[in-house]
Amino acid sequence: MLFARAHADASSLILEWLESNRIPVAAAGSADDLMGLSLRARPRLVLVDDRDGERSLAALRRLKGDSYTGIVPAVALTDGSEASFQSAFEAGADEIIPRDLSAAEFRQRLDLLLRRSDRDVHVHPSTRLPGTFAIEAEMQRRIDLGLSFAVCYADLDHFKEFNDRYSYYDGDRVIRVLSKLLHDVVKGMCSEDGFVGHIGGDDFIFIIPSDKVAETCGEIVMVFDTLIGYQYSEQDRQAGYFFGKDRRGQLHRVPLMTLSIGVVTNTRRKFTHAAQVSQLATEMKGYAKTLNGSVYSVDRRADGVEEGERTPARAPKAISIVDA
């Protein structure tokens, strides 16, 4: 997206780069136009030119000052002077490019800006773990490469009741503890072959080699059960539960949080796209949540086996396996 008085004001180099990246151009003649366009459909990036004077910097400040549009990467074209650089920087520009820069460096800077922007958008803000887009891309990458993998969907049990009992601040702390636990165990056991992503809330996905499921998931549930009690008050921790109200206002016992992990592998199945894996992982996570305690449930069914044919069987401590 281009903010300028007219398309003709933009250099041919800018338009060439935008076209090569298949970024459609829309000209905004005022700050109101820019905000209207940005709020309706978040642009890939915004370009402002300091030849438009204070109105371009005012538009940039409005863009970056809004919580929704502030994430849009903004480029300021300047005359290269220290004063113009400082003005663009204070207005919130993410990249400041002198108009007399070489064509090669100009393109490189814009390419790097898009790369940084994509990286920032595709991570979860509270945990800094990759988000949904990156999770699906990692699943698809392993499918396309024909790698043997396991997708593990982790979810907290009784998390809402914990938030109601304590506070959202304490709930956020639990989310950060879980994200750190998943990251450290997965990376410690699988190194670069392990991937950890954050869907949102208390939902996480980690992807590991299929032969690492038992040791990795076993370690995660063991460490989780060791740590989670310390997120409660001494009284609740010693009792192992607290009294909470259900939707009807009736008191009932709420146990300490546990962790449920649904696991899907491609050892007995053939996947062609990430959506197939996500659907099964969600199903297995739901099954794991029907079991008591912190568990991981592995789908052992093969292609062509109906869901009703599975039979649960208890494996060693804190493990549930679903067989075909």
The answer on pLDDT for 17 being more than 90 is: no
Give me the pLDDT at residue 8, please. Answer: 40
Q: What is the pLDDT of residue 304?
A: 61
The model carries a pTM of 0.72
Q: What is the pLDDT of residues 234-249, one digit of tens each?
A: 999 999 999 987 767 7
Q: Which domains does the chain have, with CATH numbers?
A: 7-120 (3.40.50.2300), 132-323 (3.30.70.270)
Task: Provide the pairing of β-strand 195-200 with 203-209.
Answer: antiparallel
- Residue 219 tokens read as 């370690």
Q: Which of 34, 36, 24, 32 is nearest to 4 (CA)?
A: 34
* Phi-psi region at 105: left, alpha or beta (left = phi > 0; alpha = psi -120 to 50): alpha
pLDDT score of 261: 97
Is 237 within 8 Å of 199 (Cβ atoms)?
Answer: no
Here the tokens at position 311 are 């039979």
Between the alpha carbon of residue 138 and those of residues 77, 121, 143, 146, 191, the distances in Å are 36, 16, 9, 12, 15
Please state, in angstroms and rounded to a whole number, the distance separating the CA atoms of residues 12 and 241: 67
Is residue 210's pLDDT more than 60? yes
Mean pLDDT of 224-237: 95
pLDDT per position as a tens digit, 23-41 = 888 888 788 888 888 887 7
DSSP letters of 68-81? TGGGS-EEEEE-S-
- Summarised one tens digit per residue, pLDDT across range 253-267 is 999 999 999 999 999
Helices 54-65 and 31-40: angle between axes, nearest 10 degrees: 30
Helix (H, G, I), strand (E, B) or coil at 205: strand
Q: Give residue 31's identity as a one-letter amino acid code.
A: A
Question: Averaged over 49-72, what is the pLDDT?
Answer: 85
pLDDT of 11 reads: 62
Contacts of 176 by beta carbon, 8 Å cutoff, 6+ apart: 126, 127
